[in-house]
Amino acid sequence: MKEIVLDTETTGISVKEGHRIVEIGCIELDNLIPTKNKFHCYLNPERKVSEQAFQVHGYNDEFLSKQKKFQDICQEFLDFIKGKRLIIHNAEFDLSHLNNELKLCGKDQINNEILDTLILARNKFPGSQASLDALCKKFSIDNSRRVTHTALIDCDLLSRVYINLIDQKEPTLNFKNQETEFKSENNSKISYFKKVVQPTADEIEEHKKYLKVNLKKNNFN
């Protein structure tokens, strides 16, 4: 199964305040193993970056003003994610911004299958911190490159967290014959479900091979 690990960076938190996307990063997984297929772009948000957002990702207005606009990469992005499950941490945030950008381009909202790793982590480890940094620490994943939040580095880290999340079986959590789903504010379906929590025997075997050979490597080198 092919999936897309996705992350965005923005000018601020809420689309209701007119905030826009400044970066999109995507990594393709094939049966849990990262492929060489990636999608990455910086975007001109056509507005100023908030100070809070600048402190998070470090992209200034001058740099972003020289980048393409979302409408310029819209179709390429949609083609890249078409028909694939999206793996996103705090999916409601990213989807609200992506769907806003699509709306501004006259496109339909994203209707891909969505797996929110934030929801998955909170249900697997109740009461524990579920930020990307906290999960990297829990699974001993080196996140030293994450000095600032950048979409492609965050996707790399999230792909490793995701693989660990579905490999760490919690005996008290029974996802058999379950599918948990809710509607976000932007009406997109976000779910975590048995097919992800309980991978096939072939996927588990491929995953074991991946852990032995590739997990410690930097996929971007």
What is the SS3 assignment for 192?
A: strand
CATH number at residue 175: 3.30.420.10
Mean pLDDT, range 142-157, rounded to an integer = 87
Mean pLDDT, range 73-95, rounded to an integer = 98
Given the residues 57, 89, 97, 149, select the one marked as catalytic.
Answer: 149
Task: Quote the CA–CA distance of 152 and 8 in Å, as a whole number.
Answer: 9
Domain count, the chain: 1
- Of the candidates 80, 117, 85, 104, the one whose C-alpha atom is nearest the C-alpha of residue 3 is 85
Question: Domain range holding 92?
Answer: 2-213
Note whether residue 218 is domain-resident: no
Note whether residue 219 is domain-resident: no
Tell me if residue 57 is catalytic.
no
Taking all residues of the chain, what is their mean pLDDT, rounded to a whole number? 84
Global confidence as pTM: 0.76
- Of the candidates 218, 213, 208, the one whose C-alpha atom is nearest the C-alpha of residue 157 is 218
> Both tokens of residue 72?
């310029």
